[in-house]
Structure 1
Amino acid sequence: MLKNYFKIAWRNILKGRFYSLVNIIGLSAGIAFTLLIGAYIYGELQVNRQLKDADNQYIVLSKWKDPNMGYPLTTTAELPRALKRTYSNLVANYYRWDGVSSTVSKGDKHFREALQIGDSTMLKMYGFKLMHGDSRTALNDPFSVVITQNIAVKYFGKTDIVGQTINIENFKGGKHDFTVSGVLDKTPTNSVTDLVTNTGVFMSAGAANFMGRFMDGWNNTGIAGYVQLQKGINPKQLDKPMLDLIKKNTAPQIAANMTPYLVPLKDYYLDAGNGTVKRMIYTISFIGLFILLMAVINFINMCIARSSTRMREMGIRKVLGGRRKQLIWQFLTESVLLVLLSTLMAMLWYLIGRPFFSDMVGREVLGLFSFPLYFYLIPLALAVFIGLMAGVYPALVLSSLRSVDSLKGKLSIRENIFTRKTLVAVQFGIAIVVLISSFVISQQTNLFFNADLGFDRSYVVYASLPRDWSKQGIDHMESISRELKQIPQVSNVSLSWEIPDGANMGNTPVYLPGADSLRAQSGQILTTDNQYAATYGISLKAGTFFTPAFSPGDENKVVINQTLAKSLGWADPEKAIGRQLRMQGYPPNFVVCGVTKDFNFGSMKGRIPPIVFLNVNYTNLYRYFSVKLNGNNIQQSIAALQTGWNKLLPGAPFEYKFVDDAIQKLYTVELQLKKAAYLATILSTIIVLLGVLGLIALSVQKRTKEIGIRKVLGSSAAGISALFLKDFLVVVLIAGLVACPIAYLLMQHWLNDYTYKISLSFQPFVLAVMILTLITAAIIVLQTIRAALANPAESLRSE
């Protein structure tokens, strides 16, 4: 019997090819998009969950009463190790690391790589496998390194390279060969090897001395720390032991300000950065559910609308002895079969769309056959559920008709037009909300890139430098910057620790001499030379940006921005020139030599902070050359710059990036959301229009006789088209009236996260409704005009 149901269902699907195809394409698009979103969310939820003993793995974070004293992401260097030694009944293991970057060389290959100097416990504690090498001893030797597969292939062209060496440069300009003791197997995305950046080279803690770093000390608060708890231990049990250790061993100032706490690694990734990943998951989940809901409504609506054309078929079946139960099963079988076909097509869309979707969300989405077996039951269950939902109404209604009424084509039960129109209105409403959201997100994102940031980032490239953090190293780099500036294609060069991407040396309290330091203003420290303002086009409100030629007196000079000047009581920038200020942790008084116009050093999500510029000759710290090109021929300018770089800095890789790209990274989530909104807009519009196309075609088919009679009585083609337009456009307008306030509330809530934001105007709301109205009208006119122009004799003869 079931075989017969499927056979008849297949024949009916083929008989109505057009309607079946419209239904399948619309639903498959919604299912495919939902599956891609589900795969993305599944991948995000798996981060850190594949680590060995993941349920007991924790990262040690810090809360600071004074946020200028330390970083939330790090802890004191000794704390994780002391917890293991002192409270071994609570802590099973620990891991600490310090992240740096430096030049790595092999033969004529020189690249700047992310390095992680850490304890030898890493491999065992997290269960990271080695393709080659012994995990028990790989990180024991100070001059041994473990590298990833990518790094192995990059430098050696293969992975079986244990025993070979690579050369690493330290921050004093010294170089040393390191023996490759292990090559990591592919590791899942995690917050150990990929906490801040994707690390490629892992060094033992013993290498810290060579690199000029410190992995020990209770007052060293810049180390990332992790602990693995004993089974059954609650992290709250370590709150008091950690505070006791901090109070007993650290400096009083640290003990009074710092509170360490544990966060499960399984939760950390989702909650980091004020829950950026979690917010992205929620947002994209809602988008996916909206699209799926639209596709399901469209499918159900089409099934209900088309079912009324099969009344005579139901009557004949009843006359021939068909029972109501059999008729119900027939309808349900056809509906489920259509959804199963849509699901199969969705799988094909998934395979085609996965690379594009991965690019959109900035993360590799799992392949179709990479999920656990239970995952494949979800689309199957969804297909059966949607099929039953779509088929149950027509099955119950049509199977309940009397045989005489069915044979006459008479629907004795009143057709529920209101329900169908409501479903159509919901579809249009969702499409309007998505379209408005897309416009608003696009406008907000464009604001970030088109607004005046207070500096000129055009034609500026930056590149990391080999480190020699000494007076001689600074002199050498400033000499090279002057040489590079002589290149005709180069307008200016600046040596600095920062580029304007929001990452700086940290904050420090800034106050006037003799004032109470407790009332100090928190200032962001930027370390630059005297060419930084000229390179980035930062305007000065008063004074000079240090001095044109460096003199020893410049070491005690600082430049501040308008915001800091005002907060220190100098509303007139000119009054700040020559005045003194103090910074906590820096011994002398500094003299203000310049005040810059306020500029957005970081993201426009927050307000412009107080900023103080220190001279690189005072700190002896630097990371980058920022180079302003003349802009005539970018490729030619880059080539000339590379030639000069290779001549002046032999062995140092010239790995340049545009400042525009660095700024773009500040808005990664917004750009991903913008792409998702565009895709959702396209899909929702397609699904709505497919629904309109199918419903209009069915409506025209059912009203063929009416159209013929109207033509005979003198009605024009435009008048007939207007009948159908009126039905649908009223629904669109009602949907718009309901959807616009909902979209306004959603977008207003989203914009509240930003300090600098657009003002919501009527434009996106009016545009969204107009665009959808015009496209719908065009579809309706194209569908009805053919029937309206047909010979009425043909339509009347069909009856």
Structure 2
Amino acid sequence: MNTNYLKTTFRHLWRNRLFTGLNVLGLAIGISACWIIYRMVEYEYSFDQRLPDADRIYQLVSKSKDKNGREDGFAGVEKPVTNVLLNDVSGAELVVPMFYRYYNSVSMPENGKQTSVRFDREIGQVTTLPSYFDLIDYQWLAGDKKTALDAPDRVVLTEKKAREYFPDLTPDQMLGKTLIYDDTLHKQVSGVVAALDYTNSFNRDNTEFMRISEADLNEGSWGGMSSNDLVFVKAQPNTDPQHIVDQVNVFCRKFNAEQFAQYNFERWYGLLPLLERHFATNYGAQTRTVNKNVLYGLIAVGTFLLILACINYVNLSTALLPQRSREIGIRKTLGSTAGSLIRHFIGETFAVTLFALALSFLLTFVASKVFSVFLPEGMFDYVNYRGMLLFVLALIAVISLLSGLYPAFLLTKVSTVNVLKGQTAETAGRGRLSLRKGLIVFQFLVAQVFIISAVIMGQQLQYTLNKDLGFNKEAVVTVDVPYKTYNRPENKDKEFVLANELKRLPGFTGVALGDRPMDNRMMSNVHSYFRDTVEIQKALHMKMADTAYLRVYGLKLLAGRNIRPSDTINELIINEKALEIYGFSSPSEAIGEVLVTPYNGQSYPIVGVVADFHPMGLRSEIPPTAIASAKDRLHTFTIKLPRDPAQWQAAIQIIENEWKKVYPGVPFEYRFYDKFIEEYYESDRNTQKLIRAATGITIFISCLGLFGLATLTAFQRTKEIGIRKVLGATVSGIVGLLSRDFLKLILIAVVVASPIAWWLMNKWLEDFVYRINIQWWMFALAGVAAVAIALLTVSWQAIRAAMANPVDSLRDE
């Protein structure tokens, strides 16, 4: 582009500032969306890529199949598997167990006295073998990886954790310092390592590493698994990893044969490639995972927004063609070729794209703050300059070509003869409106799909939050006693001391101990019922509770009585679903019948039946559930607050004061139960917010394109409008005339989008067992919204054209 073309380009952009601004804004929004999504996708796909020999590293995972043929996966392993891999399996270069253990307190004694104590419910250590540091190559700030874990009393700290414990010491000075966990476990610091400087699915930067105990390696039974127990294997070069897992499965089948036969199911081990671990949502223990389908969906959203922005540019650019006809005619008369005109217009598009790119930096910053809840932590800390530069260059090239080629092609079709005769309207080519109208239909089709999706998602979320769950959740707070707290001998039975103190206080309408009725934690046991000669064996979802539980949560007792206090489980209350699967015809029939646990033969009489409630949310069916009482398993308080919300804060302060008397030094953390349930559906709420944001952006960009088409139409029909006004047409009649064609486009988009949105939302609602019915008014509401938005967009241009003085448009004739 020479200097003359550059001047002409900027003069044209400045002369048409409104259209230039709309183009820049539309493209900037598309670029910002694509940039954020690109950064997110690149970040997620970067995990573990820089780990040495990552293609030879696998996580050993558990797989199972029940008698109905349903397969499931689990990240944890049976403890004896580690010894099998170390001693009885060939083909593994490294075997690395990672057993996660948790402590409540750490003290740092110095000069014979304890100088600092830190309490944290989430202090976690990785217990492993020295081979861990061969698998993952850390930078050692102090210590030697060959000897750091050669004794059971050693601990290796990451730099962040070391600074937390010893803020005034250098890494070398930290070596040999003593840490005491839970006042009993003494460890000496034997190494300090820097945090890994690349994205990985292993450890955070505040981790502690200990030597795995002999008890963990040699004890434990086949059949028992925990998500805290993970094992990784590095295969020898040129070794088929399947050979390793086949050997492990021989032992798995051998030692679990009796259990497999008794419960009619299968379990075996598989190898999950490390490079797939970050995307394996079924095996996400101890690490954050992401669903690839979510990333694919985000890529699709970003692509759609970019395409819509380019369509918007095409529509706005072609709207200006009649005004540029004289310019193009003169250029062609003076010898400009079609190629030079195309290059000139592509250059204009390139300039607009650069302006949009500059604006997108501001929009990206704002969007990253507004939508931070959707962005993975650490995303903007990951920087790949080469990839980012290539993406930006590719994005600019794609936008310039997609947006500029069609308008540039139309410019070359301008008839010089018609221009010189003053026939600029015909030069624009009314017949070419068909493509532009098609683009408008496509834009509003996408917008309509988003509007319908937002309406249906909002209705489902409201249904989810307001549906009767079968228990009372209003004005209820819950407080968990930390595991390490209630597991200490000196805290035995203190839950009952605190519960009794709270019950004596005025204002509280109920205090109970037991599991939350609806929670994401699950425990189940298999129970058998013998009817004549037939054994009915089913798994019961178990809820631990005290005698106040039914009253505080308002669970309806259909037959029988409440449970009685007990040190161990000795009787059950079942729900209606359990009543059904065991074949009882009525609640009263079940009372007095006995359920037996097959693994120990213990019998439990059914003493009551309660109405069904939802223990697992509305995505799942109500499972067969039993309520039982065991004194040593009641560690969650449920407290009913006074009816007047104005008294709640004072009541919570009273609870905290009583808590501190019973559990001094233990943090008091409470949660309103209705808020807890709302958080249960946080992912659905975030999805709804994302759809709303995408809907708003799509509508905005679509309206920009519609505005351009309305401008073009008003320009082409200026003289027609003038004649109609001279002949007596009213302003409202002319506005209706100009708006009619656009309404047709929007209605076409509504008709085409509705079945697409219906199909997509039906697929989404399939995840909910309890769901709303998609109704006609949802589509009607979305259609009315789209029509109203379109009318507001075109009415300004239509009214402006209708209000214009007809003398101005007719005197040129």
Amino acid corresponding to residue 99 of structure 2 in structure 1: W
Q: 1:744 aligns with which of 753, 758, 774?
A: 758
Q: Secondary structure at the match of 1:585?
A: coil
When structure 1 is superposed on structure 2, of 222-231 and 140-149 the one drifting more is: 140-149
C-alpha distance in 2 between matches for 1:660 and 1:14 = 56
Q: 1:437 aligns with which of 450, 453, 460?
A: 453
When structure 1 is superposed on structure 2, of 245-254 and 592-601 the one drifting more is: 245-254
Partner of 1:417: 433
Residue 636 of structure 2 corresponds to residue 624 of structure 1? yes
Partner of 2:121: 112
Residue 274 of structure 2 corresponds to residue 265 of structure 1? yes
Q: 1:397 aligns with which of 383, 407, 410?
A: 410
State the Cα deviation string for residues 472-530 of structure 1 (Å, max 9, x = none).
8653332232223334454433334666313123x322112587897401112233333
Alignment of 1:333-344 (within 5 A): 333-344=347-358
Q: Secondary structure at the match of 2:512?
A: strand
Residue 387 of structure 2 corresponds to residue 374 of structure 1? yes
Change (3 A) 1:763 1:285: farther
Alignment of 1:537-686 (within 5 A): 537-547=554-564, 550=565, 555-617=569-631, 620-630=632-642, 632=645, 633-686=647-700
State the Cα deviation string for residues 82-141 of structure 1 (Å, max 9, x = none).
224333433423223145564557846433115245213444423355666655555555
Partner of 2:247: 241
Alpha-carbon shift at residue 432 of structure 1 (Å)? 0.4
Q: 1:504 aligns with which of 507, 522, 529?
A: 522
The answer to whether the Cα contact below 8 Å between 1:117 and 1:202 also exists between their aligned partners in 2 is yes
Alpha-carbon shift at residue 19 of structure 1 (Å)? 0.5
Q: 1:386 aligns with which of 378, 399, 407?
A: 399
Change (3 A) 1:7 1:193: same
Alpha-carbon shift at residue 537 of structure 1 (Å)? 2.9
Alpha-carbon shift at residue 322 of structure 1 (Å)? 2.3
The answer to whether the Cα contact below 8 Å between 1:468 and 1:474 also exists between their aligned partners in 2 is yes
Partner of 2:111: none
Amino acid corresponding to residue 94 of structure 1 in structure 2: V
C-alpha distance in 2 between matches for 1:13 and 1:649 = 71
State the Cα deviation string for residues 335-355 of structure 1 (Å, max 9, x = none).
222223223322321122112
Residue 504 of structure 2 corresponds to residue 486 of structure 1? yes
Alpha-carbon shift at residue 397 of structure 1 (Å)? 3.1
Q: 1:125 aligns with which of 135, 139, 147?
A: 135
C-alpha distance in 1 between matches for 2:77 and 2:498 = 37
Percent identity, aligned pairs only, is: 30
Partner of 2:82: 80
When structure 1 is superposed on structure 2, of 448-457 and 390-399 the one drifting more is: 390-399
When structure 1 is superposed on structure 2, of 270-279 and 667-676 the one drifting more is: 270-279
C-alpha distance in 1 between matches for 2:414 and 2:566 = 99
When structure 1 is superposed on structure 2, of 650-659 and 269-278 the one drifting more is: 269-278
Residue 103 of structure 2 corresponds to residue 90 of structure 1? no
Change (3 A) 1:352 1:181: farther
When structure 1 is superposed on structure 2, of 266-275 and 784-793 the one drifting more is: 266-275
Amino acid corresponding to residue 34 of structure 1 in structure 2: C
Alpha-carbon shift at residue 467 of structure 1 (Å)? 4.0
Q: Secondary structure at the match of 2:774?
A: coil
Partner of 2:112: none
The answer to whether the Cα contact below 8 Å between 1:20 and 1:338 also exists between their aligned partners in 2 is yes
Amino acid corresponding to residue 532 of structure 1 in structure 2: Y
When structure 1 is superposed on structure 2, of 159-168 and 559-568 the one drifting more is: 159-168
C-alpha distance in 2 between matches for 1:489 and 1:155 = 43
C-alpha distance in 1 between matches for 2:532 and 2:244 = 40
C-alpha distance in 2 between matches for 1:490 and 1:131 = 55
State the Cα deviation string for residues 302-349 of structure 1 (Å, max 9, x = none).
222222321110111122232332222111211222223223322321
C-alpha distance in 1 between matches for 2:9 and 2:571 = 84
Partner of 1:230: 236
C-alpha distance in 1 between matches for 2:577 and 2:334 = 88
The TM-score, its normalising length taken from structure 1, stands at: 0.89
C-alpha distance in 2 between matches for 1:377 and 1:322 = 34
Amino acid corresponding to residue 229 of structure 1 in structure 2: A
C-alpha distance in 1 between matches for 2:107 and 2:470 = 39
C-alpha distance in 2 between matches for 1:609 and 1:694 = 56
C-alpha distance in 2 between matches for 1:594 and 1:473 = 32
C-alpha distance in 1 between matches for 2:220 and 2:467 = 45
The answer to whether the Cα contact below 8 Å between 2:471 and 2:517 also exists between their aligned partners in 1 is no
Alpha-carbon shift at residue 237 of structure 1 (Å)? 2.2
Amino acid corresponding to residue 501 of structure 1 in structure 2: D
Residue 444 of structure 2 corresponds to residue 428 of structure 1? yes
Partner of 2:703: 689
Change (3 A) 1:364 1:276: closer
Amino acid corresponding to residue 378 of structure 1 in structure 2: F
What is the aligned length?
A: 782
Q: Secondary structure at the match of 1:494?
A: strand
The answer to whether the Cα contact below 8 Å between 1:490 and 1:641 also exists between their aligned partners in 2 is no
When structure 1 is superposed on structure 2, of 397-406 and 719-728 the one drifting more is: 397-406
C-alpha distance in 1 between matches for 2:150 and 2:274 = 26
The answer to whether the Cα contact below 8 Å between 2:308 and 2:443 also exists between their aligned partners in 1 is yes
Structure 1: 5+ residue runs without aligned partners? none
The answer to whether the Cα contact below 8 Å between 2:105 and 2:117 also exists between their aligned partners in 1 is no
Residue 471 of structure 2 corresponds to residue 451 of structure 1? no
Structure 2: 5+ residue runs without aligned partners? 109-115, 284-288
Partner of 1:205: 212
State the Cα deviation string for residues 543-592 of structure 1 (Å, max 9, x = none).
33312xx256x741122222112211223112222221112334421122
Amino acid corresponding to residue 494 of structure 2 in structure 1: H
When structure 1 is superposed on structure 2, of 606-615 and 730-739 the one drifting more is: 606-615
The answer to whether the Cα contact below 8 Å between 2:51 and 2:136 also exists between their aligned partners in 1 is yes
Change (3 A) 1:199 1:75: farther
Amino acid corresponding to residue 463 of structure 1 in structure 2: D
Change (3 A) 1:124 1:4: farther
Amino acid corresponding to residue 445 of structure 1 in structure 2: L
C-alpha distance in 1 between matches for 2:206 and 2:574 = 35
Q: Secondary structure at the match of 1:241?
A: helix
The answer to whether the Cα contact below 8 Å between 1:131 and 1:184 also exists between their aligned partners in 2 is yes
The answer to whether the Cα contact below 8 Å between 1:117 and 1:208 also exists between their aligned partners in 2 is no
C-alpha distance in 2 between matches for 1:601 and 1:200 = 34
Partner of 1:782: 796
Amino acid corresponding to residue 461 of structure 2 in structure 1: T
When structure 1 is superposed on structure 2, of 670-679 and 690-699 the one drifting more is: 690-699
The answer to whether the Cα contact below 8 Å between 1:498 and 1:504 also exists between their aligned partners in 2 is no
Change (3 A) 1:8 1:180: farther
State the Cα deviation string for residues 188-218 of structure 1 (Å, max 9, x = none).
6654447xxx985554423978xxx986554
Q: Secondary structure at the match of 2:78?
A: coil
Alpha-carbon shift at residue 29 of structure 1 (Å)? 0.9
The TM-score, its normalising length taken from structure 2, stands at: 0.88
C-alpha distance in 2 between matches for 1:315 and 1:700 = 22
C-alpha distance in 1 between matches for 2:106 and 2:545 = 26
Partner of 1:522: 539
C-alpha distance in 1 between matches for 2:600 and 2:756 = 53
C-alpha distance in 2 between matches for 1:494 and 1:129 = 51
Change (3 A) 1:607 1:491: same
Alpha-carbon shift at residue 657 of structure 1 (Å)? 2.9
Partner of 2:113: none
Alpha-carbon shift at residue 471 of structure 1 (Å)? 9.2
Residue 477 of structure 2 corresponds to residue 460 of structure 1? yes
